[in-house]
């Protein structure tokens, strides 16, 4: 539709290419519509402003504006002299502050359209009172004509991330354009800027058109982008201009913030794909490229608030304004809040007071520089409970994008006593296995046919081949054997079963209090699941429960359901919940089988095929029975391991002492388990006051990361305290006696230890007498930031030679200095010399020399303890004369 000729009553004016034309066009429209209704005038000015802005940015030609008033209508035409540059509607999010010109026309105009030909093109709109509602669409995305088209295939492109990056590209290019027009080129030649804008519009239009051809719910798309063969130089120019824009944004010369690491990584991938394929290379999927921790995210669908609610781990999400936008019940319970009370509060509500300044500075720095230190990493630190106490957690943050392109920061607050054993998980619904994960290689050992529910059934109909059957059983067992985290293992098992046998499946397990917990629901198509709608505690198995799930949980089965269970008048709440699940997810046939191990039923597996596909039959029951037996053994093994780990964790946690209050000394300690091991180990610290008045300091590390190590640690700790209190001998002699006692044990331990005594009155001076059994040397940091390692008194490890001579060292401790005892997990890193690691600790301690002792310890763990592969224990002491300590000074 279009108006090739202006109506007789129209007035027109031409404006030069440049930003000043935008304001001039607004004034022209206001004058031309003098006397018209004010709301129509205001709307016409707004829309003309947006359209002229688009012409200035994209056409780079003279602009002609025509205004007409006919029978109560207002008709406006905006034309340029570049017909080859078609419209590029951006489909911007409602939160985008720029780039919504055509969207505003669609929303506010009573009628609109475009036409081109000859020497130019024209966009027009009409406004009138009491007219029809604005049309939902008036133009389609137009990809400018191009010569000798080449096709670039973007494989597994994350749609939400693409939307956010596209908006960011247009925003920074728009700012560069206006800066150049105002005489501030910021180092970008005008011809480069024009070429960058042009090819960016072509790319955006092509991607937008491709996305509109597919269903909008999917998180990953593979689409084909048509580009001209001669577009390569312009794409390289665009990449160069955007790199310079990012540098200017980090220098705060642009209003737009720089891209976060995840956005930069995606943009690099996008341009690598375009350049590589235009020069003859093949496509590489986004899901298989190697990425840094702050870039990686396993979530394959746009984020929504339901993912936080569905997570079984304490999870909080915040926006770019540092405000909490979602929190689940687990996080609220951990920190003493109601989930609804947390939403809308600043994230600093959960940050201890002594770390709030650092949090605010780090968050602001991340937004201003686009660089982050802790996103994608596991960081030990304390969270603030509502009652004021500190809760030790391991923080894991990832960035995610919503469907409309916003960025959210999703943080898991993993209690230190329940750290993941298989790495942090992405909060939210079940996700597809990424390439490179166990079960992510799409093994085809079991035949797969196309076509939904019938695919799995085709492989088992009439009996699965023996080799295929064994392969499936082995793969199912591997899903739980490859991880020590039960939830993750069951999710992996569910993904395998939905690829091979069913359209969807559910796993229900008995809890310790005999309730039933639905731990996971997995669908062949993740889009079919509403986050947080299915998992959670189910109604109890009552006497009235007679449905298939209740029967199986009592020992029946496996049961074949040739149709979905139906609601009945006598059904219990559990039965109704089961029927609701079948109705909502769709079911044609199902098998419900008990999970049984050690003569005990502890859960049930439900496998479902949708109507229209090949149904389950009695012939499938034997295979399902074998599958649930394998699955049950895996679940039982993981649970046994978790029980053992829980015992060791409680033992280890109970042995962490309460530090003494000593006049003239401040003490603080921290313990953080490994982020990658089984959580239990042999690191420990201790401090106590001897009968003679000296303060004893102990830190040690027993070899191993298991229950045996925790037990050996507890034995050494108890023996050392007993020997030290009983004898009050020099540290070297106490360690010698400890080693002798160690060898008297049935299974002596091998480990390291530092034992020291601080002597001196409350007002000082103080001295440290210490001996070391193969342990890293204590670090002394003065208030002025001077550091040195106290490497005297070094000797053999415990458990090597109980008769070896041991030495004692004596060092002065200046007032307000900080003595740090630590285990090797704080410093040691793979493929790094120990000297480099110790230098890093010295530098960090020097930077923190004047910080309060609690901040000193937490900052060390935050800065040096992220992703640590070993447990960490630190014990810090600061001599502080009573006059300097003051009332209410912090204690360790």
CATH-assigned architecture of domain 453-645: 2-Layer Sandwich (3.30)
pLDDT for the residue 420: 34
The angle at the Cα of 866, spanning 865 to 867, to the nearest 5 degrees, equals 115
Segment among 160-164, 237-241, 403-407 with least mean pLDDT = 403-407
pLDDT for the residue 889: 44
Contact 524, 300 (CB under 8 A): no
Mean pLDDT across 549-555? 87
pLDDT at 189 over 70: yes
Which is higher by pLDDT, 455 or 367?
A: 367
pLDDT for the residue 436: 29
pLDDT at 486 over 70: yes
Q: What distance in Å separates the CA atoms of residue 183 and residue 19, rounded to the nearest whole number? A: 11
> For 273-286, how does the pLDDT look when each residue is reduced to its tens digit (9 = 90+)?
999 998 888 898 88
CA distances from 520 to 554, 712, 858, 878 (A): 20, 38, 36, 50
Mean pLDDT across 150-173? 86
Kindly report the average pLDDT of the chain as a whole number.
80
What is the DSSP secondary structure assignment for residue 643, as one 8-state letter? H
72: left (phi over 0), alpha (psi -120 to 50) or beta: left
Q: What distance in Å separates the CA atoms of residue 137 and residue 140, rounded to the nearest whole number? A: 8
Mean pLDDT across 766-772? 95
Locate tokens 């106290």: which residue?
790
Report the CATH fold assignment for 305-418: Beta-Lactamase (3.30.450)
Q: What distance in Å separates the CA atoms of residue 239 and residue 200, rounded to the nearest whole number? A: 10
pLDDT for the residue 372: 76
For 101-104, which contacts have Cβ atoms below 8 Å and span 24 or more sequence positions? 101/47, 101/50, 101/51, 101/53, 101/54, 102/50, 102/54, 102/139, 104/46, 104/47, 104/50
CATH number of 11-127: 3.30.565.10
Side by side, the strands of the sheet bearing 324-327 are 324-327, 315-318, 407-415, 390-401, 378-384
> For 404-423, how does the pLDDT look when each residue is reduced to its tens digit (9 = 90+)?
767 888 888 877 654 333 33
pLDDT for the residue 563: 82
pLDDT for the residue 456: 41
pLDDT at 3 over 90: no
Side by side, the strands of the sheet bearing 536-538 are 536-538, 516-523, 504-510, 600-609, 589-597, 559-561
Mean pLDDT across 545-557? 86
Q: pLDDT band at 15, cuts 50/70/90? A: very high
The three-state secondary structure class of 173 is helix
pLDDT at 857 over 80: yes
pLDDT at 779 over 90: yes
Q: What distance in Å separates the CA atoms of residue 490 and residue 492, rounded to the nearest whole number? A: 5
pLDDT at 105 over 50: yes
> For 858-871, how does the pLDDT look when each residue is reduced to its tens digit (9 = 90+)?
999 888 887 677 78
* Of 68-72, 429-433, 734-738, highest mean pLDDT: 734-738
Segment among 140-154, 345-359, 425-439, 751-765 with least mean pLDDT = 425-439
SS (H, E, C) 297-359: CCCCCCECHHHHHHCCCCEEEECCCCEEEEECHHHHHHHCCCHHHHCCCEHHHHCCHHHHHHH
Mean pLDDT across 743-760? 86
pLDDT at 28 over 90: yes
pLDDT at 308 over 60: yes
Contact 226, 309 (CB under 8 A): no
For the chain, the domains span: 11-127, 149-288, 305-418, 453-645, 655-885
pLDDT for the residue 649: 64
pLDDT for the residue 445: 32
> For 631-672, how does the pLDDT look when each residue is reduced to its tens digit (9 = 90+)?
888 888 777 777 766 666 666 667 778 899 999 999 999 988
pLDDT for the residue 479: 73
The three-state secondary structure class of 93 is coil
Q: Nearest 5°: phi and psi at 647?
A: -60, -45
Which H or E element spans position 389? Answer: none
Which is higher by pLDDT, 819 or 493?
A: 819
pLDDT for the residue 423: 36
Segment among 172-181, 255-264, 295-304 with least mean pLDDT = 295-304
pLDDT for the residue 322: 86
pLDDT for the residue 730: 93
CATH of 655-885 given 3.60.40.10, 3.40.50.1820, 3.30.1330.10, 3.40.1160.10: 3.60.40.10
453-645 matches 305-418 in CATH topology? yes
pLDDT for the residue 432: 28
- Letter string b/e over residues 116-147, b meaning 16 or more CB atoms within 10 A of that residue's CB: beeebbbbbbbbbeeeeebeeebbebbbbebe
Q: pLDDT band at 442, cuts 50/70/90? A: very low
- Residue 824 tokens, joined: 């090797």
Please give the share of the chain, as a percent, with pLDDT higher than 70.
81
The bridge status of strand 682-689 relative to strand 695-702 is antiparallel
- Residue 143 tokens, joined: 């990809």
Q: What distance in Å separates the CA atoms of residue 162 and residue 239, rounded to the nearest whole number? A: 16
pLDDT for the residue 50: 86
Q: Nearest 5°: phi and psi at 327?
A: -150, 140
pLDDT at 158 over 80: yes
pLDDT for the residue 787: 95
């Amino acid at each position: 539709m279009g108006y090739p000729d202006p109506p007789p009553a129209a007035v027109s004016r031409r404006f030069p290419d440049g930003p000043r034309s935008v304001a001039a066009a607004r004034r022209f429209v206001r004058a031309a519509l003098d006397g018209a209704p004010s709301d129509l005038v205001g709307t016409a000015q707004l829309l003309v402003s947006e359209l002229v802005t688009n012409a200035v940015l994209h056409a780079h030609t003279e602009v002609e504006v025509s205004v007409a008033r006919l029978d109560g209508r207002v008709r406006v035409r905006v034309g340029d002299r570049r017909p080859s540059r078609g419209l590029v509607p951006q489909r911007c999010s409602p939160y985008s502050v720029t780039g919504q010109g055509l969207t505003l026309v669609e929303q506010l105009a009573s009628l609109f359209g475009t036409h081109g030909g000859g020497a130019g093109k024209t966009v027009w709109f009409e406004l009138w009172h009491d007219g029809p509602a604005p049309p939902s669409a008036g133009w389609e995305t137009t990809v400018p004509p191009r010569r000798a088209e080449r096709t670039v295939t973007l494989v597994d492109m994350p749609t939400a991330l693409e939307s956010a990056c596209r908006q960011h590209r247009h925003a920074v290019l728009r700012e560069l354009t206006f800066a150049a027009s105002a005489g501030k080129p910021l180092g970008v030649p005008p011809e480069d800027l024009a070429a960058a804008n042009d090819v960016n519009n072509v790319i955006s239009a092509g991607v937008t058109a491709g996305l509109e051809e597919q269903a909008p719910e999917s998180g990953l798309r593979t689409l084909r982008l048509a580009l001209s063969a001669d577009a390569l130089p312009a794409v390289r120019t665009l990449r160069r201009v955007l790199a310079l824009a990012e540098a200017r944004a980090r220098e705060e010369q642009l209003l737009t913030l720089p891209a976060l690491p995840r956005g930069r990584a995606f943009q690099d991938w996008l341009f690598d794909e375009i350049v590589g394929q235009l020069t003859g290379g093949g496509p590489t999927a986004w899901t298989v490229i190697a990425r840094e921790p702050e870039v990686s995210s396993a979530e394959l669908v746009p984020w929504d608030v339901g993912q936080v609610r569905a997570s079984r781990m304490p999870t909080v999400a915040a926006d770019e304004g540092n405000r909490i936008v979602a929190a689940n019940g687990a996080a609220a319970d951990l920190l003493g809040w109601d989930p609804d009370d947390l939403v809308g509060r600043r994230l600093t509500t959960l940050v201890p007071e002594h770390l709030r300044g650092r949090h605010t500075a780090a968050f602001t720095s991340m937004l201003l520089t686009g660089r982050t230190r802790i996103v994608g990493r596991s960081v030990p630190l304390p969270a603030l409970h509502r009652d004021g106490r500190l809760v030790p957690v391991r923080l894991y943050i990832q960035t995610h994008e919503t469907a409309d392109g916003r960025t959210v920061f999703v943080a898991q607050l993993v209690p230190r006593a329940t750290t993941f054993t298989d790495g942090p998980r992405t909060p939210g619904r079940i996700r597809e296995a990424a390439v490179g994960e166990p079960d992510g290689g799409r093994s085809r050992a079991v035949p797969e046919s196309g076509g939904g529910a019938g695919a799995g059934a085709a492989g088992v109909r009439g009996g699965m081949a023996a080799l295929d059957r064994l392969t499936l059983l082995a793969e199912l067992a591997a899903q739980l054997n490859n991880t020590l985290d039960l939830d993750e293992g069951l999710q992996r098992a569910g993904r395998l079963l939905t690829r091979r046998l069913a359209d969807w499946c559910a796993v229900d397990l008995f809890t310790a209090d005999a309730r039933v917990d639905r731990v996971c629901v997995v669908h062949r198509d993740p889009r079919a699941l509403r986050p947080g709608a299915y998992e959670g505690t189910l109604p109890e198995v009552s006497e009235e429960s007679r449905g298939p799930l209740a029967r199986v949980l009592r020992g029946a089965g496996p049961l074949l359901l040739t149709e979905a269970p139906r609601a009945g008048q006598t059904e219990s709440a559990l039965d109704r919940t089961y029927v609701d699940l079948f109705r909502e997810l769709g079911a044609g046939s199902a098998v419900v089988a008990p999970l049984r191990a050690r003569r005990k039923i502890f859960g049930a597996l439900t496998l479902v095929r949708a109507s229209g596909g090949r149904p389950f039959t009695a012939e499938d029951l034997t295979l399902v029975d074998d599958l649930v037996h394998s699955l049950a053994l895996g679940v039982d093994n993981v649970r046994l391991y978790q029980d053992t780990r829980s015992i060791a964790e409680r033992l280890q946690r109970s042995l962490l002492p309460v530090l003494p209050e000593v006049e003239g000394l401040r003490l603080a300690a921290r313990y953080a388990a490994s982020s990658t091991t089984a959580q239990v180990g042999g690191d420990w610290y201790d401090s106590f006051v001897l009968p003679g008045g000296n303060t004893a300091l102990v830190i040690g590390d027993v070899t191993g990361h298991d229950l045996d190590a925790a037990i050996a640690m507890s034995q050494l700790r108890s023996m050392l305290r007993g020997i030290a209190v009983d004898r009050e001998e020099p540290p070297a002699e106490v360690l010698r006696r400890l080693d002798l006692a160690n060898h008297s044990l049935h299974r002596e331990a091998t480990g390291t230890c530092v034992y020291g005594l601080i002597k001196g009155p409350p007002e000082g001076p103080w001295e440290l007498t210490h001996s070391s059994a193969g342990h890293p040397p204590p670090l002394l940091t003065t208030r002025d930031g001077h550091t040195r390692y106290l490497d005297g008194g070094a000797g053999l490890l415990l458990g090597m030679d109980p008769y070896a001579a041991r030495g004692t060292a004596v060092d002065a401790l200046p007032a307000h200095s900080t003595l740090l005892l630590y285990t090797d997990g704080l410093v040691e890193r793979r493929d790094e010399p120990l000297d480099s690691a110790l230098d890093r600790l010295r530098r960090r301690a020097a930077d923190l020399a004047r910080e309060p002792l609690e901040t000193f310890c937490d900052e060390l763990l935050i800065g040096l303890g992220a992703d640590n592969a070993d447990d960490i224990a630190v014990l810090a002491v600061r001599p502080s004369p009573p006059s300097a300590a003051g009332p209410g000074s912090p204690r360790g």
